[in-house]
Chain A
Amino acid sequence: MPTLPHPLPDAEAQCRALADLIRPQLHRNPALIGIYSGGAWVAERLKELLGLPDDIGLIDVSFYRDDYSEKGLHPQVKPTVIPFDVEGRHLILVDDVLFTGRTTRAALNELFDYGRPASVAMAVLADRGGRELPIGAAYCVWNVDLDDNQRLALARSGRGDLVWRLEDA
């Protein structure tokens, strides 16, 4: 059983650390796209912390997942909203946890239906390894080792703070 910090790290502090990693790239005028739902929350935080002018994009990858034929359509699909032109932009795709890479693959496919970005980088709070595709995060503040049956995800507390939840799947 891998040992985890206890209590789990402060996700709000991790957002600030992630913003610090991205800040040197601001001259490229990047646009943020958060993956529902945890990634969307992190992207909102990053927009404020970095003072970015554009609204963040939000992406739901349900229509692009590779497990549709086994699992069917996710029962709660949210609309993807990309409020800026992706053509020629430097994009930063934001998620809470990077694991197999399949969600990222689906998000990339969806993004390219909107146009041809200049570049796409990935920013995550946590990287738990276990990749099944050649995908990596350019910006990450927490490398964490978990058992396959554990599920790490971001949640929002009653006050609206971002907090980590660890569940046994």
Chain B
Amino acid sequence: MHNPQLNANGELTHLLSIEGLPRAIITQILDTAASFMEVSARDVKKVPLLRGKSVFNLFFENSTRTRTTFEIAAKRLSADVINLDINKSSASKGETLLDTIDNLCAMHADLFVIRHASSGAPYLIAEHLQRAGRDDIHVVNAGDGRHAHPTQGLLDMYTIRHYKKDFTQLRVALVGDILHSRVARSDIHALTTVGVPEVRAIGPETLLPKHLDKLGVRVFHDMNEGLKDCDVVIMLRLQNERMAGALLPSAGEYFRHYGLTPQKLALARPDAIVMHPGPMNRGVEIHSEVADGPQAVILPQVTFGIAVRMAVMSIVAGN
């Protein structure tokens, strides 16, 4: 199958999705990120790998954490970073996405980091660059629609490996709005690729996609049942706009059934870690006592995210 992320030698040249990534490439990214962790701990938090390169952060959708961590990652690689807040610029004047890209290529862009509300937008750009013969320009997906958020998936794998060392004995549960979550989709593909034997999805029927079992996921509607003996609990953000539709009765009702409280967490293994991609809604999907408790690794996730994004950018830009 044609995989637009890989070049003719099978090396990663864009990061568009976890789906279809060979396990060896995921391992390479995680190992490289481990070396970048050391760089971020130095007084001089910079290496010269991308010196002279221009990284364009194109965020067609709002994001603070992802955009900031990509910006920090690129700066620690010594790249020049240009942030474009597209809502306020050309797109609102009617310019097409590919015209925007062509203009930035004319400004000698080397790498695009793209967040877009439409699933597949980063693919469209990668294929456009390929058609134009620009295999020297790289694309990293920073979240597209409901489709994928591959760097979040990778940083979640980094976090799990950091705390649990080995993937092959773990039970990992994803809890909440899996239907609308690109993080969940990237996590599921990543977890199954790295060899986690049991991936669970916990949530109300209205927030779980159909046919999850085809991805090798065990589905639970009862959180108490689903959390039992889990090693890793990944909480997903409940997007407020979901409440407006008919999918959920109320935030309070949701919290009663699917909010992670200390009592529910006690059903998982005593050394279970709690993850969350942020931003958290305290009192909606997670109790403050858990979010601030000893099992939460939510802030380390943010730190690891910088190293993982440094690894991704330095690998794709070199291929």
Contact = CB atoms under 8 A, between A and B. Distances in A.
Nearest to A71: B318
5 contacts: A71-B318, A72-B11, A73-B318, A81-B38, A114-B42
B43 interface: yes
A80 interface: yes
Interface size grouping (class) on chain A: 20 to 34
Q: Determine the main DSSP class of A at the interface with B.
A: loop
A71 B314 CA distance: 12
B35 A113 contact: no
A79 B318 contact: no
A63 B48 contact: yes
A60 interface: yes
B271 to A, nearest CB: 25
Contact of B319 (A60, A64, A72, A109): A72
B49 A63 contact: yes
A79 B37 contact: yes
A134 interface: no
Interface stretch (B26-34, B125-133, B244-252, B261-269): B26-34
Given A68-B318, A72-B315, A72-B318, A79 B34 contact: yes
Interface of B: 11, 28, 31-32, 34-35, 37-39, 42-44, 46-49, 314-315, 318-319
Contact of A64 (B31, B37, B48): B48
Contact of B31 (A63, A77, A81, A113): A77
Nearest to B13: A72
Nearest to B48: A64
A86 to B, nearest CB: 11
A76 B37 CA distance: 15
Interface of B is mostly: helix
B262 to A, nearest CB: 36
A38 B35 CA distance: 19
Contacts of B37: 79
A114 B31 contact: no
A80 B38 contact: yes
A73 B11 CA distance: 11
Contact of B47 (A63, A69, A81, A115): A63
Nearest to B39: A63
Nearest to A67: B318
B43 A114 contact: yes
Contacts of B44: 113-114
Contact of A73 (B38, B43, B46, B314): B314
Contacts of B42: 113-114
A28 to B, nearest CB: 24
A160 interface: no
Given A60-B35, A63-B48, A71-B318, 18 more contacts: A63-B35, A63-B47, A63-B49, A64-B47, A64-B48, A68-B318, A69-B318, A73-B32, A73-B314, A73-B318, A77-B31, A77-B35, A79-B35, A79-B37, A80-B38, A113-B42, A113-B44, A113-B46
Interface in A57-85: 60, 62-64, 68-69, 71-73, 75-81
B111 to A, nearest CB: 13
A76 B48 contact: no
Contacts of B39: 63
B318 A77 contact: no
Kindly name the residue among B11, B31, B46 whose own CB sees the greatest number of chain A CB atoms within 10 A.
B31
Contacts of B38: 79-81
